[in-house]
Amino acid sequence: MTLDDFTDITMVVLEEQGIASYAPTLVVQETIQVVRGIPEGLDHREAIQDVIRRAGLEGSELLFGVKSGPAEVTTGRYSPEGSTFQLISKVPQGFTVAPLESCDWWTLDDGPSH
């Protein structure tokens, strides 16, 4: 599955369920996993990276989607060689998608966490 494919699937989910209820999602080896049970107040952007680290997936290629703002979801493709990102934004007519050159909150490309 490509990042574009995953972003298209994510947009369908957002159209059906809305951004407010979107849960962080990982795709590892074509298996889709929705991350549940995130403690209240924990930023979903941090939570998805914590799940990746705890599962030992830093050396794997994966796709992810996470609510990154009140009206946006960031999707990405991560591999040990680097990451690419797209931003899905809610607009009055539905949703738009734009590539992101970089993602300042994504820390997995920076090496081991402190």
pTM above 0.85, yes or no: yes
**Is 27 among the domain residues?**
yes
The whole-number pLDDT of residue 111 equals 58
Q: Which residue from 21, 24, 46 is spatially nearest to 35, judged by alpha carbons?
A: 24
Number of domains into which the chain is organized = 1
The whole-number pLDDT of residue 113 equals 45
Q: Mean pLDDT by 10-residue block, N- to C-terminus, for the chain (114 residues)?
A: 96 94 94 91 93 93 95 95 95 94 88 48
Structure tokens that stand for 42 in this block: 């924990």
Residue with tokens 């090496």: 111
**Is 113 among the domain residues?**
no
**Is 90 among the domain residues?**
yes
**Is 54 among the domain residues?**
yes
**Is 114 among the domain residues?**
no
Residue range(s) defining the domain that contains residue 100: 3-106
Structure tokens that stand for 52 in this block: 């990746």
The whole-number pLDDT of residue 82 equals 87
Residue spans of beta strands (DSSP E) within 20-111: 25-28, 31-34, 62-69, 72-79, 82-91, 94-100
